[in-house]
Amino acid sequence: MTTVHRVLHPDPINTLDDYVAARGGQGLEAARQVEPGVLIAELEASGLRGRGGAGFPTGTKWRTVRENHSPAVATTVVVNAAEGEPGTFKDRTILRNNPYQVLEGALIAARAVGASHIIFGMKRTFAIEVERVNNAIKEAHEAGWIDRGVEVSVFEGPSEYLYGEETALLEAIDGRYPLPRIAPPFRRGVTEVVQTEADAASESGLAAPVSMAGPSDGAVAPPTLVDNVETLANVPRIIARGADWFRTQGTEKSPGTIVCTVTGSVKAPGVGEVPMGTPLRQVIDEVGGGPRAGRRIRAVLSGVANGLVTEDQLDTPVSYEAMQEIGSGLGSAGFMVFDDHDDITAAVAGVSRFLAIESCGQCTPCKQDGLTLADALARVCRGEADGTDLEVIAQRGATVGDNARCYLALQHQAVVSSLVERFAHDLAAHVRGEAAPTEPALITELVDLDDGRTVLDDRFAQKQPDWTYDDEWSGKAPADRFGDHRAPEELEA
């Protein structure tokens, strides 16, 4: 058994006292004894990479934010707890299991970058996790963990997929709709000051571009540090035990452990933590119970962000570099498994529909080509394809990512092109009428994952491309529907 418990405790931690009894708090204590630069150097030496999907080096991110700090305006640490990647439930599991370790990591991050505010960006549908985090904040206050002058709060945002995108999360916290900004990884963040500047700079009024330049006159907020739940959960023990200890597990380029979600055609869908570099097949066996009796795994999707992994690639180590080498990616380590009874074309048609609906429409190819792709794939699944549909899939698959402002469109491209390249046979069988007609699979956010039981957000089947649940689509993209880009009303949960 290779499962480990660096981030995911074997039993839930229910109180701060229990956490302290389990050696919690030692990272924060150590952080209080040293200068911020020492914390950042330790993070850099550890090689910790962001666990939200991109795998960006966390120490580099912290250093950039620190070096761009403003003498006049303190920065903010945002905990990205808006998990919504289909097939992924690891951040919610971590928060349910032990929110204290994430909060401790965020408090250390705040010391490192000089932040006066920590915001947990969560979805208001995450009732259990919101309650756990609020209780943890309260206990931390009472225990004197939170420095004077540091404010910690929870922001409960919409359920849209894009709300988990880093810049869209900041937009939502700033009071706008969750539409991605044009911005580098570390952008100016959460304040009305920034909002005013950004609005003025944006001709469209949508997703204002923001500058990466350093603070000029103190009137502009410094970059905001946004880190994923699992990333921050790794921080306390790196600071308490050191970078070398962290590197005792994992690979050179992907040190440490990774919390994986395994769902789909397996015996016991679940969440578990393994050392980076564990073969994917072993992860599926140990975290998800392995394939069902008499079944053969044919494909695995790593969230809806990367190309399909094929049967002959199942022994690939679960690491950023190895998954990339096989033309896929690690993403947030949410593995959806498909066996020889599943229709791979229907699965990809479901991914295509999900991404086309969740596209905000700020970039025309992402929304329009995305919807066209989803429609063509649906026709193929249903056995209604005409001679042009395969052509349409190839053409729009090539253009959907053009001029994309965020990764969603590129995800769409990666998943669809992997179907065309790696499962051409399956696609052709539908077109020739040799495969049983079917509907696109329901691919959407997990609402719950407990005791081997997955609960999907069924309501997504009714969601329209304008993000309403009306009977008919208005014909508008969300970005057009929202007009002035302010969020006067809550989006439907």
Minimum distance of ligand SF4 from residue 409's CB (angstroms): 4
Alpha-carbon distance of 68 to 214, in angstroms, equals 5
CB 238 within 8 A of CB 43: yes
Minimum distance of ligand SF4 from residue 395's CB (angstroms): 18
CB 400 within 8 A of CB 409: yes
Minimum distance of ligand SF4 from residue 85's CB (angstroms): 14
When the beta carbons of 162 and 194 are compared against ligand SF4, the nearer one is 162
Residues that bind ligand SF4 (CB under 6 A): 162, 180, 359-363, 366-367, 404-406, 408-409
Two tokens, residue 385 = 């394809």
Minimum distance of ligand SF4 from residue 182's CB (angstroms): 9
DSSP string, 79-99: EEE----TT--HHHHHHHH-H
When the beta carbons of 362 and 418 are compared against ligand SF4, the nearer one is 362
When the beta carbons of 340 and 480 are compared against ligand SF4, the nearer one is 480
Q: Which residues of 365-392 are buried (b: 16+ CB within 10 A; e: fewer)?
A: bbbbbbbbbbbbbbbbbeeebeeebbeb
When the beta carbons of 243 and 409 are compared against ligand SF4, the nearer one is 409
When the beta carbons of 338 and 467 are compared against ligand SF4, the nearer one is 467
Minimum distance of ligand SF4 from residue 365's CB (angstroms): 8
Helix axes 408-422, 424-431, angle to 10 degrees: 80
485: left (phi over 0), alpha (psi -120 to 50) or beta: left
Minimum distance of ligand SF4 from residue 80's CB (angstroms): 16
Minimum distance of ligand SF4 from residue 171's CB (angstroms): 11
**What does each C-alpha distance from 338 to 262, 298, 328, 378 come to in angstroms?**
11, 6, 16, 18
Burial class (CB in 10 A: 0-12, 13-18, 19+), 458: exposed
Among the listed residues 308, 285, 333, the one whose alpha carbon sits nearest the alpha carbon of residue 416: 308
SS3 55: coil
Minimum distance of ligand SF4 from residue 367's CB (angstroms): 5
When the beta carbons of 328 and 359 are compared against ligand SF4, the nearer one is 359
When the beta carbons of 177 and 186 are compared against ligand SF4, the nearer one is 177
Given the DSSP bridges, would you call strands 334-339 and 297-302 parallel, antiparallel or unpaired?
antiparallel
When the beta carbons of 286 and 369 are compared against ligand SF4, the nearer one is 369
Residue type, position 388, single letter: T
